[in-house]
Amino acid sequence: MLSMEMTSMQRFEAALNHETPDYVPVSLFGGIFEVHFVPGMDVVRYGTSGENMAKAHIAFYERIGGDNIYCLSDMGLIVQGWGVRMKLPSEPDIHMALGKFPVKEPGDWEKLEVLDPKVDGRMRLYLDACRICSEKYGDSVPVGVSLPSPFTTTTHVCSMEETLVHMMTEPEALKKGLKTITDTVAEFINACVANGAYFAGYLVTRASWEITTEDQYREFGAPSDEEVFRRTPSMVNIPHICGTEPMFDLVNEWKTKHKNVKAISWWDRGAKSNLKEVKEKWGKSLALMAGIDHTNTLPSGTPDEIAAEVKDSCKTAMAGGGFVLAPGCEVSPKTPWANMRACVNAARRYGKY
C-alpha cells in the first residue's frame, strides 16, 4: 500500500497538536546561515529588505529542506521605530547590533508611542517576507517569524542594567512603557498573520532564572505576554528561551490558558533541564522544539555525529507526538551545509512514526 507523505505544514501542525505526523518535523532556525544560499547576499541586504529575506529562506528551504520557513531578524526590527540606531556589523556573519537606547530616564518610558507595523522601524520586512513565502508555498509550508516579547523588547529600548534597575525603583514608569510595547508587538504579530505567517518564535529570553526571578518575571513580563496571546488568536505562538534556566512551569501555564500557545523552544543540550526531563514533566502538555546542539554538534560535528544526536533526541521525545526537532537557538553561520542536510535526513530516518 502506498503511504501518503504529509506536507510540511501537516507534519508541523500534527506535532504541535500532539497528533501523529508521518515523521518528526524539523525546524532549522537558520537565520544568518540562510543568507549564504543566495549569491551576493549579505546580512545587511537580508536585514533591510523583505524580498531579500524571502529569497534567502526560499533558497535555503529548496536546498536543505526541513519543515518550515523561519524569518529571523536582528533585534532592531521593532525598536528602530522608537529611535534605536543600528550599528552595521563589524564582520560579515553577524547581525546588525543595537546602538544608542532612547530610554535612559524612567520618564522616557511614557514617551514611547504605539508603532504601526506597516511603516515604523523595519517591521515591514517580515510582512513582505511572509507574504512572498506564503504566496509561493500556500498552505504546504508553515512560515514563521522570530520576534521579541514585550519584556524582552524593553531591554532593546533601554539597557538591560537600567531596565532591571527601573523594575525595582520605578516599576510604574516601566509598566507604562510595557503597555505601549505590548500594543505594538500584538499589532505586529497580527500584521504578520495577515501576510501569511503561521507561527511566531516568541522570544521570551528573559524568562530564565539566571536573568530574572520568577516573581519578577510574573510581575513584569508575564502579564504583557498573556495580553499578546489574548490579542493574537490566529498566531501559533512558540515561546523561545535562550537562557539556561527556562521557566517551564510558567510557559506550561500559558499553554493551558491560551489555545494559541503550543510549544516551547529551548537549548535542551545546554540548559539545566534536558529533553528527557522536560518530556517527562511537561511533554504531555507542551510540544517540545529542541534536540540538536547548535553550539557544538551542528557546527562542529560530523554528519554521523549529528545523525546519532538526532536518533537520541527522537528516541527520547517523539513518543506520543509533540516533538519538533530543532537547534536550541539560531544556527551558527559557520555550520557546514552537509550538517544541516544530515540533520534533516536523520529526522526522516529516525523520526518515522
Residues that bind Zn ion (CB under 5 A): 242, 329
- Of 9 and 325, which CB lies nearer to Zn ion in the complex structure? 325
- Of 177 and 333, which CB lies nearer to Zn ion in the complex structure? 333
How far apart (Å, rounded) are the C-alpha atoms in residues 124 and 75? 14
Spatial contact of 112 and 104, defined as CB atoms under 8 Å apart? no
- Of 132 and 292, which CB lies nearer to Zn ion in the complex structure? 292
How far apart (Å, rounded) are the C-alpha atoms in residues 70 and 31? 8
Nearest to 258 by CA among 289, 221, 225, 218: 225
CA 301 to chain centre: 24
The sign one gets for the Cα dihedral 89, 145, 184, 221 is negative
Spatial contact of 271 and 244, defined as CB atoms under 8 Å apart? yes
Q: How far is the CB of 329 from Zn ion (least distance, A)?
A: 3
Q: How far is the CB of 152 from Zn ion (least distance, A)?
A: 10
- Of 100 and 272, which CB lies nearer to Zn ion in the complex structure? 272
Q: How far is the CB of 116 from Zn ion (least distance, A)?
A: 27
Q: How far is the CB of 22 from Zn ion (least distance, A)?
A: 28
Cell numbers placing 34? 540562510
- Of 195 and 297, which CB lies nearer to Zn ion in the complex structure? 297
Task: Count helices and strands (H / E) in the chain.
Answer: 16, 9
Q: How far is the CB of 294 from Zn ion (least distance, A)?
A: 9
